[in-house]
Amino acid sequence: MNRSGGVLLSVTSLPSKYGIGCFSKSAYDFIDWLKEAGQTYWQILPLGPTSYGDSPYQSFSTFAGNPYFISLEELVEERVLTIEECRARDFGENPHMVDYKKIYEARYPLLRKAYERSNLSENPEYQDFVARNEWWLADYALFMAVKDRFGGLPWTKWAEDIRLRWGNAMDYYRRELYFDIEFQQYMQYMFYVQWKKLKGYANEKGIQIIGDIPIYVAMDSADTWAHPELFQLDEKNVPCAVAGCPPDGFSAVGQLWGNPLYQWDYHRNTGYEWWISRLEYCFRLYDVVRIDHFRGFDEYYSIPYGAKTAVEGHWEKGPGMDLFARVKEVLGCREVIAEDLGYVTDSVRQMVRESGFPGMKVLEFAFDSRDSGCANDYLPHNYTENCVAYTGTHDNETIRGWFDTITKEEQELARAYLCDTRTPKKELNWSFISLIMRSAAKVCMIPMQDYLGYGNECRMNKPSTVGINWKWRLTKEELTKELQNKLYEMAKRYGRMNWI
């Protein structure tokens, strides 16, 4: 990774005709826009199929793609859908917000129609895709088909025979749900074909994709159902303990995520086979992979299953560098960003150093009066070259929203650091962006909301809340030539220009 910059924007936030950003023409237009703005990277959020709460970090599969991202326009061009059929559906009325309920109700019937008209049996490329991905696709497609049969219930509430994957039950549902399973495989095929085409276009334009993977998988996922041996589950596949993070200055009771924890002894004994497969697959999809909650590989927070809060949890030792040494041995040197935020110990810092992966720096953490010791790590004059600098991430307030909500003391501290007492608050986003752009950080990633100077009404996610997140969208009119020129001049000024 050379000195460069990029934009953080979820695919869901792209402009589109049908209620949610996807792999449509607007995605190609955005790549063109980035290229003309002198950018090198487009960082996205996880692409997996989302479950309750719509979080891309709680997915039904580690490997599958979200069918919401399939471009309906391309399906119209293929003549498996008509414009009239698409226009007849209600995708929501607000162009700035995703209405996930309406998206769910509108898109799946259309995709089912497309599948039924697709003549899959005559498509050798589809057959090849299924054969090459059978190691995860077969379980995922069956999982989703059975989930639909049980009214969307988590697999832990299915009938015992299929919940525990008894052979006769597996055979029965494969026969009974044949076309539903094939429909799920069709959607994965279309996702992969369209994403491969879009990523190829980005790379031709000199734009690299930074993907994002959660460290944990959801309990209600094909991965956990199909491979309970990978996780800390009992003989009835009930979790022994779950993931989260401890109480801190931001939350007196910590965070209870509820994801199953890994059975690290099993992974170690298999040479980390599942993790190797996971990361190898990710590098097919992305140019760079950001691994969320990287500190969990050093130590992970274990909370007894059934606990109401994270207070009862304790730290357990993770695999550490043993995992990443194996990854390097099998996959070679790959581009990874280590999300090393939060509670960071000396052993975590040592693991990040040994890995060689760039860590993350978030400017909003630099002026926190509650955590002055740690805040020093996030002051831009202390950034090392081997890091990726952000004004904020998808979990943070926008930079404008953040400045509006911090204390007066913290505002004064930030302005003093900027040597700027006069710039109006509504324009300070550019001062903060410039601050990290001129740091030593190898890469600077700026959320699109911060480039636009938007407040917290456009925030992507507020952790520990459900139902209000992952909704913000751009309109085409907001991607102006004026804004593009500003990004171009800034990339040029601070030596972050993409000259490809």
Mention every residue, 6+ apart, whose C-beta is less than 8 A from residue 99.
19, 91, 92, 93, 471
Half-sphere exposure for 69 (CA within 13 Å, toward CB): 28
Closest Cα to residue 486, out of 41, 36, 40?
36
> Which of 248, 312, 371, 395 is the catalytic position?
395
Rg over alpha carbons for the chain, rounded to the nearest Å, is 23
- Asked if 211 contacts 282 with a C-beta cutoff of 8 angstroms, the reply is yes
Distances (CA, A) of 115 to 74, 112, 119, 128, 500: 13, 5, 8, 17, 39
DSSP calls for 122-190: G-HHHHHHHHHTHHHHHHHHHHHHHHHHTTT--GGGS-HHHHTT-HHHHHHHHHHTHHHHHHHHHHHHH
Q: In what order do the strands lie in the sheet with 4-8?
A: 336-338, 288-291, 208-213, 41-43, 4-8, 443-447, 387-390, 359-362
Strand pairing partners for 359? 387
Helix, strand, coil in percent for the chain, rounding step 5: 50, 15, 40
- Asked if 242 contacts 261 with a C-beta cutoff of 8 angstroms, the reply is yes
Structure tokens that stand for 129 in this block: 């895709």
- Asked if 470 contacts 54 with a C-beta cutoff of 8 angstroms, the reply is yes
Active site residue 223: no
Active site residue 99: no
> Which of 182, 220, 298, 339 is the catalytic position?
339
Helix axes 167-176, 134-149, angle to 10 degrees: 80
Question: Nearest 10 degrees: CA dihedral of 446, 447, 450, 454?
Answer: 180
Give the Cα separation of 257 and 242 in Å (integer): 7
Please report the beta strands in 31-154, taking only residues with DSSP state E, as ranges in sequence order.
Answer: 41-43
Active site residue 32: no
Give the Cα separation of 171 and 306 in Å (integer): 33
Question: Nearest 10 degrees: CA dihedral of 185, 191, 194, 197?
Answer: -100
Amino acid identity at 288? V
Distances (CA, A) of 308 to 1, 92, 304, 316: 43, 36, 9, 20
CA–CA–CA angle 393, 395, 401 (5° rounding):
80
Give the Cα separation of 229 and 231 in Å (integer): 5
> Which of 139, 287, 292, 299 is the catalytic position?
292
490 three-class SS: helix
- Residues annotated catalytic, as ranges: 292, 339, 395
